[in-house]
Amino acid sequence: MAIMAQTPDILGERQSGQDVRTQNVVACQAVANIVKSSLGPVGLDKMLVDDIGDVTITNDGATILKMLEVEHPAAKVLVELAELQDREVGDGTTSVVIVAAELLKRANDLVRNKIHPTSIISGYRLAMREACKYVDEKLAVKVEKLGKDSLINCAKTSMSSKLIGTDSDFFANLVVDAVQAVKTTNARGEVKYPIKGINVLKAHGKSAKDSYLLNGYALNMGRAAQGMPSKVAPARIACLDFNLQKTKLQFGVQVLVSDPRELEKIRQRESDITKERIEKLLKAGANVVLTTKGVDDMALKYFVESGAIAVRRVRKEDLRHIAKASGATVVTTFADMEGEETFDASFLGHADEVVEERIADDDVILVKGTKTSSAVSLILRGANDFMLDEMDRSLHDGLSIVKRTLESNMVVAGGGAVEAALSVYLENLATTLGSREQLAIAEFAESLLIIPKVLAVNAAKDATELVAKLRAYHHAAQTKADKQHLSSMGLDLSKGNIRNNLEAGVIEPAMSKVKIIQFATEAAITILRIDDMIKLVKDEQENDEE
């Protein structure tokens, strides 16, 4: 306790050593246990109710963790981990949290057995590097060998655990068509699939199977006035980010008028300014005007007279996407360098046509045949909001996975195949090392088996027997030259046996697996390094003095 004597009075609590480690691990386990039962093709959903009573029903790991208000600092690392996986890959958020928590749990057991955390960390790092290398070199298969079916299978695998899993054939085709529709090639000649260009619209009514893909970017709003035409072709689009309402003088500007008749002139000028702006727009050739702000009723009549469509209160995000797709420039002000107001025709975007259609009970504006990149919209139909929201989340995962598969071109077998192969490989690797890292790598290998175990448990199958069989197959694949084809053996969770998942079409992008291993290891190492926690308490006296 000599150390404590030297430490100045810290107002708060200080925990160090094993207490902190155990506490962190317990917190992370608690978070992982929440999402554990939602993994896999028969994973269960979670119902989250927030403080004002809004209900969310989902089994998307990132969504569940985002909506939990996690207090514990170490557990927050796992929540951020799920968000990172969601941003980078789009799917596999549940797996990454479960693996990270398992790695931590096993590392904590090793520390209890008097192995220094530094040795464990270097062992984990080595295991992570070897695992990623093994996936890339031995387990990944080029997509060309499998064709378009492989994309559909990737989408189906991603959706299998979701609400729309029963209709995964239908939705997988929808997703693959949508991603392929937004294919673009950038200046460096790389092929990219910007899935942000896919707009997802949710409309009540009909069943999920009545969802469809629309060629064109859909805006969830109607025309600003009924007198406007419901269709213009070809469309020249102006994207504005300011008000087309009667111009008012700025706050703080005082106008002293001695003659009351002058007031009328000021009013008249205010309305003329807006009129001039609209005339400039129309003179430049615009026949579709989208603005993020409002349009005055008085201003609408000019658009109606000239047969143009005006849409007000467009979301900024939508405006950016339409501007990008049609080649328009988002204009925030008409003022030019000389202080005059001008609008150049080069700011306009081009599309084949802009039409207003009715979907369910809502009017939507469709921008079809855009100039630069093709934009598509997924129109989702469903019984209620919960269903539509969950479909939206599931499709986001599906779209991300298809994008990753197309961009990286490498896939691996799903259903626990990769984890089992890595587990066997790392265990053999551990026995070749004579250093302390051996134990950490062996535990890392054991931790990866949590994925096939949880998958089997969630499917109400005998996990112990299935995982043992799976490991036997992978051991044979890695030790016998004539059995290499067994390296894609994974779990068949509907029948409760082992099958070749590459042939069965249960596949995932290799990049997703590699990222899961990397992120989970990094997160586990981050938490494992902590051996001291100081919680500060606010000093009451200071507050009183102030």
Residue 287: pLDDT band (50, 70, 90) is confident
The residue annotated as part of the active site, out of 56, 58, 63, 93, is 93
Where do we find the tokens 């009970």? 361
Where do we find the tokens 């992570």? 128
The pLDDT, as a whole number, for residue 518 is 92
Residue 396: pLDDT band (50, 70, 90) is confident
State the greatest distance between any 2 C-alpha atoms of the chain, in Å, as a whole number: 102
Token reading at 236: 């020249």
Cα 130 to Cα 230: distance, rounded to the nearest angstrom: 60
Token reading at 212: 């469809």
The pLDDT, as a whole number, for residue 372 is 65
Residues 6+ apart with CB under 8 A from 47: 55, 56, 57
Main-chain phi, psi angles of 294, to 5 degrees: -95, 165
The residue annotated as part of the active site, out of 397, 405, 492, 521, is 397
Average pLDDT rounded to a whole number, residues 395-424: 86
The pLDDT, as a whole number, for residue 499 is 86
Residue 47 predicted with pLDDT over 60: yes
In contact, 61 and 101? CB cutoff 8 Å: no
Instruction: For 1-44, write each residue's pLDDT tens digit.
Output: 444 444 555 567 777 778 888 888 898 898 889 888 888 787 78
Cα 86 to Cα 95: distance, rounded to the nearest angstrom: 11
Choose among 385, 262, 241: nearest CA to 317: 241
In contact, 378 and 395? CB cutoff 8 Å: yes
Residues 6+ apart with CB under 8 A from 424: 445, 471, 474, 475, 478
285 half-sphere exposure, CB direction, 13 A CA radius: 12
- The DSSP code for 141 is E
Residue 539 predicted with pLDDT over 70: no
The residue annotated as part of the active site, out of 45, 56, 58, 60, is 60
Instruction: For 327-379, write each residue's pLDDT tens digit.
Output: 788 887 777 666 667 777 777 888 888 888 887 777 788 888 776 667 788 88
Q: Where in the chain is the domain with CATH 3.50.7.10?
A: 217-242+276-373
Cα–Cα distance list, 220 to 223, 274, 296, 353 (Å): 10, 26, 20, 17
Residue 543 predicted with pLDDT over 80: no
- The mean pLDDT of the chain is 81
Average pLDDT rounded to a whole number, residues 311-324: 83
The residue annotated as part of the active site, out of 56, 63, 94, 291, is 94
Helix/strand/coil (H/E/C) assignment for every residue in 213-259 = EEECEEECCCCCCCCCCCEECCEEEEEECCCECCCCCCCCCCCCCCC
Percentage of residues in the chain having pLDDT higher than 70:
92
CATH architecture of 217-242+276-373: 3-Layer(bba) Sandwich (3.50)
Is 94 known to be catalytic? Answer: yes
The pLDDT, as a whole number, for residue 4 is 47
Residue 103: pLDDT band (50, 70, 90) is very high
Name beta bridge partners: 356: 365
Q: Where in the chain is the domain with CATH 1.10.560.10?
A: 12-142+412-535
Cα 287 to Cα 274: distance, rounded to the nearest angstrom: 17
Instruction: For 229-284, write each residue's pLDDT tens digit.
Output: 778 878 888 888 877 776 666 666 777 777 777 777 777 777 777 777 778 878 88
In contact, 357 and 214? CB cutoff 8 Å: no
Q: Which CATH number applies to 12-142+412-535?
A: 1.10.560.10
In contact, 23 and 531? CB cutoff 8 Å: no
Instruction: For 173-183, write each residue's pLDDT tens digit.
Output: 888 888 887 77
Is 397 known to be catalytic? Answer: yes
